[in-house]
A = this chain, B = another copy of it.
Amino acid sequence: MSNGNIDVSQLMAPPVTDVTQLEKTMDTIKSRMEVMIMKTQAEVCHALEEQDGQKKFLVEKWSRAEKQNDVIIGDAVKGIGQGGGGVTCVMQDSKVFEKAGVNVSVVSGPLPEGAAQQMRSRICSRGKKLEEGKLMFFAAGISSVIHPRNPHVPTVHFNYRYFEVEEASGKKHWWFGGGTDLTPYILDREDAVHFHKEQKAACDKHNPDYYKRFKAWCDEYFYIKHRGECRGVGGLFFDDLDTPSQDKLFDFASSCAAAIVPSYIPIVKKHKDDKYTDADRNWQLLRRGRYAEFNLIYDRGTKFGLMTPNARIESILMSLPLYAKWEYGHVPEEGSKEAELMAVLKKPVEWL
């Protein structure tokens, strides 16, 4: 089934915006972004399904009600309301993947007050100003966390988003954000090097400074402050980018998104059948506890989601692992592989 420019049959579900409408507006950044993230979702999900070999992704299309108290949840394809919607793909308790979620959302509405405060201070630190008073937002993004079963396979996260905020005067602010980071349980230094190499290649197509800058930002962002440790071996993180241009940033985000499969899938393939012990599994669960801590306490996207009225909580919190563990006073043995990982999380490494 082909719909002119957009081949819906290649996607996990029809886009959030009506396809005819999308095709008519493919000169706008909003539509280009929506199509890019839908395509990325399908590409990543198909690559993961191929590695898993057992289950397919469950696909749920949802809409966000604006100014309604109804909680919207369900597995039926629903009409898209005023507040936008999304497509959530989840594979749970399968052979290779314990929990894998790839979520696309295209949402808009009045900006929640808590989010406005955070954005004001960030926009201000860029030397710009966000007006007081009512603000409207638009966001199109893809967000994913993949938790594999085997402790030798790292968890990966990625997220690419285009954001617009409009003041009452009509003045628009826009920016891109995103990134990806790898969270190993048992460190394989070659995996970290491979992952960073692929991400650097995506950066280098656009700006020779991007990798260095966004790698450092990633180490800073994915930091569990109260534990004094990074959540993984990093990758890229960027936010609030509005230069050099929408077109160039869209191309950059697209390159990053296209680099997810080559960055991560070879690592899955390499380790998915590795032998592991109960102690390895226990360590993985403890580290997943730390993952949950980061996402619930610090993650910008999660916080924004939880602040947004009628947000689809299941789609936001699908980033949380299937199982997590908190053991009081657990300290890895000196010289163990757990201690080796911790040394890297305490002091970020330049992998390239």
Q: Indicate if A67 sits at the interface (CB-CB under 8 A).
A: no
Please report the C-alpha to C-alpha distance between residue A223 and residue B318 in the assembled complex, in whole angstroms: 21
Chain A interface residue bracket vs B: 35 or more
Complex contact A92–B324 (CB within 8 A): no
Complex contact A297–B306 (CB within 8 A): yes
Interface residues of A in 62-121 (CB under 8 A from B): 71, 73, 75, 90, 92, 99, 101
Please report the C-alpha to C-alpha distance between residue A228 and residue B63 in the assembled complex, in whole angstroms: 18
Chain B, Cβ-Cβ closest to A228: B71
Q: Indicate if A313 sits at the interface (CB-CB under 8 A).
A: yes
Please report the C-alpha to C-alpha distance between residue A293 and residue B296 in the assembled complex, in whole angstroms: 7
Complex contact A313–B227 (CB within 8 A): yes
Complex contact B327–A324 (CB within 8 A): no
- CB neighbours of A171 from chain B (8 A): none
Please report the C-alpha to C-alpha distance between residue A322 and residue B324 in the assembled complex, in whole angstroms: 8
Complex contact A292–B296 (CB within 8 A): yes
CB of A342, distance to nearest CB on chain B (Å): 13
Q: Which of A228, A289, A296, A326 has most B Cβ within 10 Å? A: A326
- CB neighbours of A331 from chain B (8 A): 73
Q: Indicate if A320 sits at the interface (CB-CB under 8 A).
A: yes
- On whether A329 and B292 interact (CB within 8 A), knowing A226-B313, A228-B71, A306-B226, the answer reads no
Which of A's residues lie within 8 Å of B, judged by CB? 58, 60, 71, 73, 75, 90, 92, 99, 101, 225-228, 285, 289, 292-293, 296-297, 306, 311, 313-314, 317-318, 320-329, 331
